[in-house]
Structure formats: structure tokens, C-alpha cells
Amino acid sequence: IRKTSTNTSAKVYGMRETIFIICLCFFSEAAVSKAPSKLPVWAFLGDSITSGYGIVQSESFPELIRKTLEAQGVKVKIIKSAIPGSTSASGPSRVKWLLKSKPDWLVLQLGFNDGLRGVKVSAIKKNLIKTIKVAKAHKTKVILIGLKLPINYGKPYRDRFAKIFPQIAKETKVEFFPFIDGFYTTPKYMQPDGWHPNKLGHTVIHSELLKKIKSFI
């Protein structure tokens, strides 16, 4: 009788244990399925163009991209590091700071101030490639924004400057966003200084760049 009682108790305990494990697995899977997925992180690294110099910060193209995506039900996290006057030389160190947030994508817009100062295009190219390599080493994909200089700069230098951006994108195998044709020759897009886009200009950049960004979300 004792043996039968012991065996019966063991069987009951075993059944309870099995039911408990099955329930635990079920609720664990349910919890995992309901856990919110990580929001895509987009980092913007640039100068006064990215910062929205001369306009309300909320009207800069990175902020407009965030607002438009959210309005369309697409949630993303936007991180912006934009310092007016910064040059391509600041890129490698600044991108390391941005990478702490583990961005999925980096939108890189640097080199304009170098061009305004007549820096050798070879030096600009070297700095941008180094910045991109740091990002790629951390598994962050890159979109490089192509730039052009205002028409009051000498044509030989303007041409050399404009050519390095598609070259860099090709050599480093990153995505390229070409400079919008006719931007500097369209006064309604520019602030009086002729260097920085105004509110409408940022809207144009936002709408064009958003097409590319949405293809990766």
C-alpha cells in the first residue's frame, strides 16, 4: 500500500510539474511576442545645414523627416549632431559619440565649410572616408549627402569639390544622396547669405531625402 501511495504521489507531482512548465513556456512566448521591438535609430551628423541655421530648429530637414514619418505611423528615433561651422575633420571623433546610441543608419553631411575655406579636396575626402569607416566598423549603414558650393566660387575648385562625394560613396560602398540640382540658383530656397537653405529649402531637402530613407525602413 505504501508503494502504491508513493507511486501515485510521484505521478501527480510529475503531472503538476509538466503542466507548470507548459504554462510557463506559453506565457513566456506570449510576453516575448508582445515585447516592443527596437525602434530604428537614424543619426544625422552635419554642420549648419543639418542644424537648421537661421530657421526654427524644428523646421530643419531631420526634424521634418521625423515628423512626417510619425504622421504616417512610422516610428523612428532621430539623433542629431549638427554643429554650425564644423568641418569634415570633426567627423571621425563626432561619429564615435553618435555610435554610443547604436544607430542603424548615419546620414552624413559634412564638408561644406571645408569648401568655403578652400581646403584641399583630397583632405576633405580623407576625413569623410575615415568617418564612414568608423561607422561601418560598428555595423552602421551610411547615407552620404553630396554637396556643391555656391556659384561665386571658382569653377575648377567647385567641380573638384562636387566630384569627391560620389567618388567617396562608390569607394566605401555606401548609399549616396546627390545634391539637389539648381538649389543655389533658386533664390526662393536660400537665405539672404546664399549659403544656407531657408524654411522652404529644408522642406525640399526633407521631401527628397525622405524618399531614400523610406526605402530602407
Active site residues: 48, 193, 196
- Count the neighbouring beta carbons within 10 Å of the beta carbon of residue 73: 6
How far apart, in whole angstroms, are the C-alpha atoms of residue 66 and residue 61? 9
- Evaluate the CA torsion angle 29, 33, 35, 39 in order and state its sign: positive
3-state secondary structure of 44: strand
* Residue 60: all three cell numbers together: 530643419
Helices (H), 35-154: 48-51, 61-71, 91-98, 112-116, 121-137
* Residue 120: all three cell numbers together: 584641399
Helices (H), 35-60: 48-51
Q: Are 41 and 79 in contact (CB under 8 A)?
A: yes
